[in-house]
Amino acid sequence: MKVALVSPYDWRHPGGVNSHLGVLARELRGHGHQVKILAPSNEPIDDPDVVTLGRPFPVAASGSVARISLNPRLGRRVGEVLRQEQFDVVHVHEPLMPVLPIHVLRQSRAANPDVVNVGTFHATRDGGNRLYSYSRRLLKRWYREIDGKIAVSPPAAQYVSRYFPGFYNIIPNGIDIEHWDDPAKTPLSEYQDATNILYVGRAEKRKGLGVLIRAFSIVNARDPDTRLIVVGPDSRARRRFEQSVSNDKRRGIVFVQARDGGVPYDELPRYHASADIFCSPATGHESQGYVLLEAMAAGLPVVASNIDGYASVITHEVDGLLVRPKDAMVLADALTALVRNPQRRAALAVEGRQRVEEYGWPRVAQQVISYYERLLDTRGTVETSRRQRLDGRLDGHLDGRRGDPVGSAE
């Protein structure tokens, strides 16, 4: 198969969707398929398999910032690429996001009438989606161009179904388990003198870092031999948290020196190897909980908020702990219980490590490939039937013109 993987987000900017596409492309190539990635970028990409389409701009979205292309004239260039490449499958991620995915859906069928369009919906948002709500009638036109629909989790499927009812095949984001469960990624020596709680993520309000800092202050007061390690990209919000921790003289909280994109992906497992507990106290808008899967793959027990996206990954008291969102005291109690019970930490880590196998890339990639194949087979069958019906009607028309209508008795 020749496959296009389409991202609406700046390919130079790290993020969950782009990370997913990068590894999916690698897995598909490993199965012998040809793959190109189509995405916007402000800078040239030195990769012949990445086609840049449009310049991205930062746009506020769901409590975060999305870097997407907003050029309404991008369609001509998109059409040229699709006609040149003649993809069998065009797989658009967040297919109703402005504007690159919509341009691709507009142009794909004109470029190749036999193409199969696949859309993966990654997001969820507790308060709904104003773009979907206000533009639903317009977006339905392009939604109908999607032959196969994927959601990364049941909450993501429920979310998009509120606006665009239909069947969504659940195929989760995959995870590179070996990257996180790598004995060569040794613990960092500077963190070996305490029980470490690890937070990985941006310092946005919806990620719950403020709740965790308050909860950890309680944990540290109860058990001074504890440390909170905060890993994530630099931002004004993060600097405000650092200043607040310094002003309040809170003990045991370490902000890992941040770069624009945070700690590089290859270095992150060393922080997991240095930790005893992983905590993600997000308050909402999480479709799957990818950071939880990373921690589980690394063999860490997880404490997380009881929100839909996280509850679709973790079963409370089986392979992790789920606590009431935004409640610093409840979170502190859960963390304290694990700090004081190494055996319980180990048991949760074992169960979590087994659970994460369901999300390993070999399994997820095969699910995606099988879905492509089913859609291609179905489309081929439908197209054959359509052509047979057209041929039949044409033969009947010609026979009628000869004075021998089909079905007439002699």
Taking the C-alpha atoms of residue 126 and residue 109, their distance in angstroms, rounded to an integer, is 34
Which residues face 151 on adjacent strands? 121, 170
Tokens of 351: 């169960």
> In what order do the strands lie in the sheet containing 116-121?
50-52, 34-39, 2-6, 89-93, 116-121, 148-151, 169-170
Contact between 150 and 370 under an 8 Å Cβ cutoff? The reply is no
Taking the C-alpha atoms of residue 10 and residue 121, their distance in angstroms, rounded to an integer, is 17
Q: List the beta strands (DSSP E) in 353-398.
A: none
Amino acid at 120: T
Mean pLDDT (whole number) for 79-107 = 96
Residue 130, Cβ density class (10 Å: 0-12 exposed, 13-18 middle, ≥19 buried):
exposed
**Range with the poorest average pLDDT among 176-180, 207-211, 236-240, 259-263:** 259-263
Average model confidence (pLDDT) across the chain: 91
Q: Which residue has the higher pLDDT, 380 or 252?
A: 252
Q: Give, in order, the Cα–Cα distances in Å from 217 to each of 228, 255, 284, 305.
A: 9, 15, 23, 18
For the stretch 71-74, contacts whose Cβ atoms lie closer than 8 Å and that sit 24 or more positions apart, written own/partner, are 71/99, 72/99, 74/99, 74/100, 74/103
Mean pLDDT (whole number) for 226-240 = 94
What is the CA angle 270-276-281, rounded to 5?
A: 95
Write down the pLDDT at residue 404.
45
Q: Give, in order, the Cα–Cα distances in Å from 201 to each of 207, 220, 238.
A: 7, 21, 10
pLDDT at 400 > cutoff 60: no
Write down the pLDDT at residue 14.
74
Taking the C-alpha atoms of residue 268 and residue 200, their distance in angstroms, rounded to an integer, is 9
Write down the pLDDT at residue 15.
80
Residue 407, SS3?
Answer: coil
Taking the C-alpha atoms of residue 77 and residue 56, their distance in angstroms, rounded to an integer, is 15
| Cβ neighbours of 148 (radius 10 Å) | 21
Convert the pLDDT of each residue in 33-78 to its tens digit: 999 999 999 888 999 999 999 999 988 766 577 889 989 899 999 9
Q: How confident is the model at residue 406 (pLDDT cuts 50, 70, 90)?
A: very low
pLDDT at 192 > cutoff 80: yes
**Range with the poorest average pLDDT among 123-127, 207-211, 274-278, 401-405:** 401-405
Taking the C-alpha atoms of residue 99 and residue 72, their distance in angstroms, rounded to an integer, is 7
Residue 126, Cβ density class (10 Å: 0-12 exposed, 13-18 middle, ≥19 buried):
middle
277-280 vs 253-255, strand pairing mode:
unpaired
Helices (H), 112-235: 130-143, 154-161, 177-180, 209-222
Q: How confident is the model at residue 222 (pLDDT cuts 50, 70, 90)?
A: very high
Write down the pLDDT at residue 44.
87
Rounded to an integer, what is the distance from CA 44 to the centroid of its chain? 24
Q: How confident is the model at residue 13 (pLDDT cuts 50, 70, 90)?
A: confident
Q: How confident is the model at residue 397 (pLDDT cuts 50, 70, 90)?
A: low
Amino acid at 352: G
Q: Give, in order, the Cα–Cα distances in Å from 43 to each of 12, 34, 263.
A: 7, 24, 21
Tokens of 335: 């963390």
Count of CA atoms in the C-beta half-sphere (13 A) of 380: 8
Contact between 203 and 235 under an 8 Å Cβ cutoff? The reply is yes
Q: What's the whole-model pTM score?
A: 0.83
Among candidate residues 31, 28, 53, the one with its CA nearest the CA of residue 42 = 53
Write down the pLDDT at residue 89.
98
Q: For the chain, what percent of residues have pLDDT higher than 70?
A: 91
Q: Which residue has the higher pLDDT, 404 or 274?
A: 274
Write down the pLDDT at residue 298.
97
Domains, the chain: 2-174+361-388 (3.40.50.2000), 178-359 (3.40.50.2000)
Mean pLDDT (whole number) for 335-363 = 97
